Chains A and B, each alone.
Chain A
Amino acid sequence: MFDNAMNAPSVPLGQRSAIVALRSFLGRYGLILALLVLPVVYGIQDLSNDGDLSRLGNNLVDGISNGAIWALIALGYTLVYGIIELINFAHGEVFMIGSFVAASFWGTLGLTLASGVPGLIVGLFVTLLVAMLTCASLNVMIERVAYRPLRNAPKLAALITAVGFSFILQNVGILWRGGSQQSVDNLIRQEQQVVEAFGVVISRGDLLAIGVTVPLVLVVTTFIARSRAGKAMRATAQDPEAARLMGINVDRTISLTFLLGGLLAGAAGLVYALYQTNVWYFQGFTAGLIAFTAAVMGGIGNLRGAVLGGLIIGCIQQISDNRIGGEWTPVVVFGYLILIMTFRPRGLLGEQTREAG
């Protein structure tokens, strides 16, 4: 509407340029401002009530550890979207299966609260590998069965099979562990304090989440940036037809992408089970949507964006859980999702996709 300001002589020049500047400012920083609303408002409230920011600080610490889990899942969305422009709707459920596998497998290994520290570390590491590999094969299998036959069909067809698969996996979850939340052993005593500074507590769970996520993200990004297979992935993402002409096996590259996504989802599943100390069949649906929001927030297709988005959405979620009430958190998260998709579909760091343009 202000684009026509040229034809409106009643608007003085200085005012017009101010409006234009405001518009470009909002276009560039509007999303960041919107994301800062919650922390700033509650920060001010904390300062006036308690005189310090320790409550907000604790929210942010918890948020970053939660966000680390979302980041792992969001990477799976963004990898798949980057390469075949498909929202892998079943990804959240793959993560849920990861949690279930982890919780069952450490039971099989005989890990309990009484296990000693060395045994626990080795056992959990093995569990991590098992969960990652299971989810990776599951994700590759889903791609093979549900998406590959539809590669030349309209894109919405693949989205619908993805939704269908997510329901199938949810039902597998129901049959496996019943329809309600199930608590699992708090193996690492996640709430135990490790460091405290200025009233901000960092617990074992926080360290675990960061300790698993950071190396994995580094390995995956390095793999994609440096390795030959990673190069093939980037080439396929840019132009599958040309990649094929250059001798890249596109089908195998796409499978590899799903494999990477599955590995990360499996790791997220284990961390989630240890951190939240409960699992249930519906966790994947919620987590999937939150992580998808994270991926969109960062700019879908952009790996760094997915991690950033995950951390931000984790903080927002934590602040909302703690201040507004956990039952309203989905409304807050989905509200941001709609805002971002409407006003800034390319996200914080992403390129403008065709879909969004």
Chain B
Amino acid sequence: MSALPDFARTRIGQRAIAGAVLLLAALFPLAFDSLATQMDVAIFVLAYVMMALGLNIVVGFAGLLDLGYVAFYAIGAYTIGWLASDHFTGIGGEKGIHVLVSDFVQTSLGIHVNFFLVLIAAMVIAAVLGALIGLPTLRLRGDYIAIVTLAFGEIIGRIALNGDEITFGEQQLTNGQQAISPVDQPFLPGAGYEFDSAFNLRPYYWTGLVLLCFTLFVNFRLRDSRLGRAWIALREDEVAAASMGVPLVRTKLLAYAAGAALGGIAGAFLGSYNNAINSNQFQFSFSIFVLAMVILGGMGSIWGVTAGAFALAVIDRYLIPEIFDDLPSTFGLDFQLTQLSFGIFGFLLVLIMILRPEGLFPERRRQMELTEGVGTDETVYEARM
């Protein structure tokens, strides 16, 4: 290969490239109007990349195919809906409960907790739920895990949808298809600054970028940790890993919990930015969308997944709805391209799996597993022997 990949392989080279990309990303909002469509797209892209990196821990590192990842998006989003909006008006009496919020929110009813505290709460709640969902899958392998996680994802989606029927006292659990809205804007208590998505998207963008950097940091540190090596060992050969002393239960549950925690943060961030938590956002197709990002980039490869998520998020939020939406009608066809977005992702999944199953930017180790048959992810024939 050329000189550039060689440079990119060295430690300094990698850091230099990462630093340059980060700098570009940080300066990106200055090139656009503070309310430009591109800003809106970029914020979604950041959140989607975070979710893809979270799912990458479960699917890419630990090799547990999770088809219900949308559950953690939902949990994160509902955490902010519950803890930072007027939704639970009856709780906290006449005054409501307020923790470190702006003067503007101070007067409203319900529970209002500072955005940044809610992020931590979302992370913890999602992690606990992730481990709980992981519990029944511990004895299962392969596609059975996929189905159980899918079932959990669907159950949580259903609870979100029908949550307006679950009441305690006067309170509904969720608002179903009528969103929980508005949600409090993030507020920096020290600086006394409150975000306002109606006037300026830049603070949201930068917050998202900081969260994404945190997510990337967590991903790298986890991958190189003892736990990360245990995950990879588990992915390559569960039996061998167990006999080498890798505690299966703890390792698997931690993978689910870590992946879920990142999804919860991204969900809370996105819920706050959307300013509405609507049960329609949490459908199975979203799980597959995130999975497609991980697979496109290359399961287990952190930069690959970042790139894959970036590409799919831009396609989903920008290219399909903004640029190519009217493409079919220019050919005289009677539909919008947005109707087909999930068909396009499905097609992409099939194509990648058949042509380049290791993804666009595979991790070297994972590629070896696939091409040289390291690891015991059984093929269809071997499964029978």
Contact = CB atoms under 8 A, between A and B. Distances in A.
Contacts of B229: none
B308 to A, nearest CB: 14
A331 B349 contact: no
B17 interface: no
Interface stretch (A103-111, A256-264, A306-314, A333-341): A333-341
Contact of A355 (B67, B141, B150, B370): B141
A345 B284 CA distance: 23
Given A154-B377, A171-B342, A165 B147 contact: no
B350 A164 contact: yes
A85 B346 contact: no
B376 to A, nearest CB: 9
A180 interface: no
B216 to A, nearest CB: 25
Contact of A156 (B140, B143, B340): B143
Contacts of B288: 163, 167
Interface stretch (B37-45, B151-159, B196-204, B318-326): B151-159
Interface string A159-174: 1110111111011101
A171 B383 CA distance: 33
Contacts of A85: 380, 383-384
A328 B158 CA distance: 7
Contacts of A241: 381, 384-385
A85 B378 CA distance: 10
A92 to B, nearest CB: 12
Contacts of A151: 379-381
Q: How large is the interface on A (under 10, 10 to 19, 20 to 34, 35 or more residues)?
A: 35 or more
Contact of B353 (A86, A164, A239): A164
Given A164-B347, A171-B339, A341-B144, A354 B383 contact: yes
Contact of A341 (B136, B285, B379): B136
A155 B285 CA distance: 21
B335 interface: yes
Nearest to B289: A167
Q: Which applies to chain A's interface (DSSP): helix, strand, loop or mixed?
A: helix
B258 to A, nearest CB: 20
A329 to B, nearest CB: 9
B148 interface: yes
A345 B379 CA distance: 21
A289 interface: yes
Given A163-B288, A327-B158, A154 B379 contact: yes
B348 A355 contact: no
Contact of B380 (A84, A167, A168, A170): A84
Contacts, number: 167
Nearest to B375: A154
Given A327-B161, A330-B158, A355-B143, A155 B347 contact: no
Nearest to B341: A171
A167 B343 contact: yes
Contacts of B378: 154-155
A87 interface: yes
Contacts of A331: 155, 158-159
A152 interface: yes
B28 interface: no
B162 interface: yes
In the complex, which of the residues A87, A155, A156, A334 has the most CB atoms of chain B within 10 Å of its own CB atom? A156
Contacts of A195: none
B302 to A, nearest CB: 20
Interface in B322-378: 335, 339-340, 342-343, 345-350, 353-354, 357, 370, 375, 377-378
A292 B357 contact: no
B139 interface: yes
A284 to B, nearest CB: 12
Contacts of B343: 167-168, 170-172, 174
A276 B370 CA distance: 46
A27 interface: no
A356 B148 contact: no
Contacts of B350: 145-146, 161, 164-165, 168
Contacts of B347: 164, 167-168
Contact of A334 (B154, B165, B349, B370): B154
B146 interface: yes
Nearest to A146: B350
Given A330-B158, A341-B140, A156 B348 contact: no
Given A155-B379, A345-B140, A163 B67 contact: yes
B384 A157 contact: no
Given A87-B143, A170-B342, A330-B155, A155 B384 contact: no
Contacts of A157: 353, 357
A156 B152 CA distance: 19
Interface in B121-167: 136, 139-144, 146-148, 150-152, 154-155, 158-159, 161-162, 165
A305 interface: no
Contacts of B385: 239, 241
Contacts of B67: 163
Contacts of A239: 384-385
A118 interface: no
A155 B144 contact: no
B209 interface: no
Given A85-B383, A154-B370, A341-B140, A164 B346 contact: yes
Closest 7 CB pairs of A and B: A167-B346, A171-B343, A164-B349, A154-B377, A342-B136, A334-B151, A164-B350
Interface of A: 84-87, 145-146, 149-161, 163-168, 170-172, 174-175, 179, 238-241, 285, 289, 292, 296, 325, 327-328, 330-331, 334-335, 337-338, 341-342, 345, 354-356
5 contacts: A154-B370, A155-B383, A163-B288, A330-B155, A334-B152
Given A154-B375, A167-B342, 20 more contacts: A84-B380, A85-B384, A153-B379, A154-B378, A154-B379, A156-B65, A156-B146, A158-B353, A159-B146, A160-B291, A167-B285, A241-B384, A325-B162, A337-B148, A337-B151, A341-B140, A341-B144, A342-B136, A342-B148, A355-B141
